[in-house]
A and B are shown apart, each in its own frame.
Chain A
């Protein structure tokens, strides 16, 4: 921010430094895209990595992970963690399908699904604050609990909600050719919510409290921050984002509620946040970083398919790149 640069030094030097700092988070994503593009130019003369089809696919996959990463960014900034994200997503998608099946209007079913996931998140928060257990343990438990609940509600089957309105099925579909929208509705929703969340984290009392708790809970208590209430709110907020991710998932599966969806999502979401500069010990995290982290993960996956990397090699590469990306970020932070 320009207001930070009020010290000595030439204005031009400052502008360059500001630009470098502003662009640094994009570096990882740019490198990944560049690598696959060069690979395509060298070895696949008949295809390009940057096709509109592939970009649409990447955007679509990013929407779900990115939505989860938004909530996780707030939770991690507050020094917490939520392992139950995949289960909450499944619970939300199942509830949405059930609601539609029962004949409720689409918007009521959607709001109910989001509210149920938010309640699930709030339950995490209540357990963490009232039992004084570490979030890792509580959400490990609720990860199983919510998964079981989703499976039970769905009777261990996928629920097809054929009666769902068209817009609910096409949230993640690419826009019509030539449309001004460029990317699917889901991505726009993630971007708008991302801007709002960034505003909340940086420019509201609630947001500063999150970072305060994440940085040092004893200090936050000393400063009169309502620690328990704030924590419950942030887990509920994270749940709400997952509720929406569950709605995306429902669209992705062609109007199906799937109780097994989102298994392993927690690891992808956490990886996205830490690649984006979030600290698992709390006090740090950025919305832009997390969304870029999520894009980087899905681009990598898509790129591996493009480059015909075998599935086992794909896993090894992605694992190595996650660790490498975080190490580079930490190094950059220390150097700054």
Chain B
């Protein structure tokens, strides 16, 4: 690109934290009206680059220019003033404040310390109207809005401070397909109105659908950039991992055995409604659907985390209708939560504590634990999973997202679960670890375990599962062998058409 036309230009940015060179020569050029994809595995340096852009960290070397001027923000507030706004994966919404207050948070209009409500309302209304949500109730506490709307409020905040560059970090990770489509058309409109947009995502399909150009980060360097239209997914993956991936979805041969879990007419206190299906040994059953269709609730109900109001469940190991997670674990069920930080792991505790939390019996005698035997077992598990960790006593917080997720899954192996309920097990983790988890799911099936996989990422379901069910508004509308599905058909049923 002609650098004169660039709105934002980064040249050879470097940043070191202690012994780690987080950024080691990143260059990027953004034109107004462009949606630029920034891709890379976890740990490639994306978040550090974002921090540098947002003024949270200042680079050790390199140069940034915004509209030709030197750009060196000292704080996020300064970056925002200069017109660079971030929308983080975890939204920065003050849930108890109104929509209006959220849109103008940090940029309140005042005279002599008193809010100028009229002007505030006008600005908030205008920003929301530009996003096609002029009708949103400005007085409503933002925390009561659905996630997708909260995201709109955050984008409106960026517009209200007249952003010229908008950085979206994994914006679709908690959205359903319908909201994703709405967000995409919004992003396109914003770009058409002259904003430059950096779009960070793990989903290559999304990137291809939305963005024009891309930059790949690997080990803190920008290793490739170009037009997405001219680059295949295989090439992108190769740039990201820096080696031949073989295949994204390794197949491990497995065969379906006898029935392991019979669900008849199960209704939960929230969702699902009248759910019936049979799960077999060696079967990987996928559940697709929009956010709010009740996919997670199916797993939570089966596991005893959500209340059950009707129906029956029966299976091997004396499995009966779910009561509590404790009983479910004893009956051979294992559950991986979609909310890794809040519900999946104990972030303050060690890797060993996390891995063994569901089954301490193997190491305890009369309530007294043998930490030596525990650590031995944990070491074996970590080696099985090729999980990179210094020691079983290491704090789980220090591991990367992918390695944390390996520990969360290893917990199910440790408790010897027969039926694995996996809720978005690959959310927010890098491509390499994703492929390992897919292989692993296949291996579990080949050993006669049964897996129910909930995912928002359709290619994952289509390539990993043997059977796929589609949920719509709490009901299982179809359950068929994977060969009988097309992606279009899944979407058609998911939206209730």
B335–A4 CB distance below 8 A: no
Contacts of A279 in B (CB 8 A): 348
Decide if B368 is an interface residue (CB 8 Å cutoff): yes
Do B369 and A224 touch (CB < 8 A)? no
Give the shortest distance, in Å, between B349 (CB) and chain A (any CB). 5
Q: Is A206 an interface residue (CB 8 A)?
A: yes
Q: Which of B329, B348, B353 contacts A224 (CB 8 A)?
A: B329
Looking at the complex, which one of B325, B329, B349, B357 makes contact with A283 (CB distance below 8 Å)?
Answer: B349
- In the bound complex, CA of A28 to CA of B282 (Å): 58
**Residues of the A chain whose Cβ atoms lie less than 8 Å from the Cβ of B329:** 223-224
Stretch touching chain B among A113-121, A136-144, A213-221: A213-221
Do residues A224 and B372 form an inter-chain contact, with CB atoms below 8 A? Answer: no
Residues of A near B305 (CB, < 8 A) are: 221-222
Please indicate the chain A residues that have their CB under 8 angstroms from the CB of B344 in the complex: 219, 222
Q: For residue A224, which residues in chain B have a CB less than 8 angstroms away from its CB?
A: 324-326, 328-330, 358
Q: A211 to B353, Cβ gap below 8 A?
A: yes
Cβ–Cβ contact B348 & A284, under 8 A: yes
Contact: B391 with A216, CB < 8 Å? no
User: Is B318 engaged at the interface, CB distance under 8 Å to the other chain?
Assistant: no
Counting chain B CB atoms within 10 Å of each CB, the highest count among A208, A212, A226 belongs to A208
Contacting residues of chain A (210-254) with chain B, CB-CB under 8 angstroms: 211-212, 214-216, 218-226
Set of chain B residues within 8 Å of A203, measured between Cβ atoms: 368-369, 371
Contact of A222 among B335, B348, B364, B390 (CB under 8 A): B335
* B residues near A214, Cβ cutoff 8 Å: 348
**A205 interfacial contact with B, CB 8 Å:** yes
Considering the complex, give the chain B residue whose CB is closest to the CB of A199: B368
How far, in angstroms, from A154 to B38 measured CA to CA in the complex?
Answer: 72
- The answer to whether the Cβ of A20 comes within 8 Å of any Cβ in the partner chain is no
Smallest CB–CB gap between A288 and chain B, Å? 17
CB distance from A76 to the nearest CB of B (A): 12
Report if A310 contacts B (CB, 8 A): no
The answer, among B326, B358, B367, B391, for a CB contact under 8 Å with A206, is: B367
Say whether B346 contacts A283, CB under 8 Å: yes
Cβ B391 vs Cβ A218 within 8 A = no
Task: For the complex formed, measure the closest distance between the CB of A146 and the CB atoms of chain B, giving whole angstroms.
Answer: 30
Report yes or no: B349 in contact with A221, Cβ–Cβ below 8 A.
Answer: no
Q: A204–B364 contact, CB under 8 A?
A: yes
* Chain B residues closer than 8 Å to A226, beta-carbon distance: 326
Whether B342 is near chain A, meaning CB under 8 Å from some CB there, is yes
Given the contacts A222-B343, A226-B326, A215 and B360 also touching, CB distance less than 8 Å: no
Which residues of B sit under 8 angstroms from A3, Cβ to Cβ?
Answer: 371-372, 375, 391, 393
Distance (whole angstroms) from the CB of B242 to the closest CB of chain A: 24
Contact B346 A216 (CB under 8 A): yes
Q: Which residues of B contact A6 (CB under 8 A)?
A: 391
Q: Could you give, for residues 95-124 of chain A, a 1 whenever the CB lies within 8 Å of some chain B CB and a 0 otherwise?
A: 000000000000000000000000000000
Chain B residues within 8 Å of A204, by CB: 364, 367-369
Scan residues 179-204 of chain B and give those whose CB is less than 8 A from a CB of chain A.
none
B127 adjacent to chain A (CB < 8 Å): no
User: A219–B372 contact, CB under 8 A?
Assistant: no
Chain B residues contacting A220 (CB-CB under 8 Å) are 346, 357
Tell whether, in the assembled complex, residue B345 and residue A216 are in contact, meaning their CB atoms are under 8 Å apart: yes
Taken together as a complex, chains A and B put the C-alpha atoms of A205 and B368 apart, in Å, by 7
B347/A215 in contact, CB under 8 A? yes
Q: Which of A4, A215, A283 makes the CB contact (< 8 A) with B393? A: A4
B349 touches A211 (CB 8 A): yes
Contact B393 A223 (CB under 8 A): no
A7 close to chain B: CB less than 8 A: yes
Q: Which residues of B contact A282 (CB under 8 A)?
A: 348
By a CB distance below 8 angstroms, the chain A residues around B353 are 208, 211-212
Given contacts A205-B369, A212-B353, are A218 and B360 in contact (CB under 8 A)? no
Q: Is A316 an interface residue (CB 8 A)?
A: no
- In the bound complex, CA of A215 to CA of B346 (Å): 5
- Of A4, A216, A219, A279, chain B has the most CB atoms within 10 Å of the CB of A219
Q: Mark B90-105, 1 if CB is under 8 A from A, else 0.
A: 0000000000000000
Contact of B346 among A1, A206, A219 (CB under 8 A): A219
Asked if A223 and B369 make an inter-chain contact with CB atoms under 8 angstroms apart, the answer reads no
Top-10 shortest CB links A-B: A283-B348, A224-B326, A215-B346, A223-B357, A218-B343, A215-B348, A224-B329, A4-B393, A224-B325, A223-B358
Q: A3-B371, A212-B353, A216-B346 are in contact. List 12 more A-B contacts (CB 8 A).
A: A1-B393, A4-B393, A215-B346, A216-B347, A219-B337, A219-B343, A221-B325, A222-B303, A223-B411, A224-B326, A282-B348, A283-B348
24 contacts across the A-B interface (CB closer than 8 A): A4-B391, A4-B393, A5-B391, A7-B390, A7-B391, A203-B371, A204-B364, A204-B369, A205-B360, A215-B349, A216-B342, A216-B345, A216-B348, A218-B342, A219-B337, A219-B343, A219-B357, A220-B346, A220-B357, A222-B325, A222-B335, A224-B325, A279-B348, A283-B349
Q: List residues of chain A with CB under 8 Å of any chain B CB.
A: 1, 3-7, 202-206, 208, 211-212, 214-216, 218-226, 279, 282-284
